[in-house]
Amino acid sequence: MESYYEILGGEEAIQKLVDAFYPRVYADPDLSPLFEGDMNEIKRKQKMFLTQFLGGPDLYTQEFGHPAMRYRHLSFEITPTRAEAWLRCMKEAMDEAELEGEVREYFYEKLTQIAHFFVNKTE
């Protein structure tokens, strides 16, 4: 059975998504304060995480250990507004990367759950 990673288009599709996503994040006034530093390194880590998250090779774990993403994000003030901004940027990036179909819907739903789970501060 193919993984979601393979169905979406593998490494090329994830790279397109990450490349479309981060310029939006860095330009967003709600999100940009959370994303300082080298965009290329952040993109590399996100690509590794999404690859693993979608059932591809466990690249993130190999380099950084267990993702523990909520723990890794606790030092950032993630409000409901920021979670929604992140999701909006992701949805726009999915459009630009031409991700389509049921697998996109599944992927976006999982990211929506995660974004809301990461909220750690009220407005």
Query: What gap in Å lies between CA 94 and CA 64, rounded to an integer?
Result: 26
Domain membership of residue 92 (yes or no) is yes
CATH of the domain at 23: 1.10.490.10
Domain count, the chain: 1
Mean pLDDT score across all residues of the chain: 93
This prediction has a pTM of 0.91
65 domain residue, yes or no: yes
On whether residue 123 sits in a domain, the answer given is no
C-beta separation of 32 from 26 below 8 A: yes
Could you tell me the residue range of the domain that residue 36 belongs to?
4-118
Give residue-wise pLDDT tens across range 16-54: 999 999 999 999 999 999 988 889 999 999 999 999 999
Q: Is 102 exposed, middle or buried (0-12, 13-18, 19+ CB in 10 A)?
A: exposed
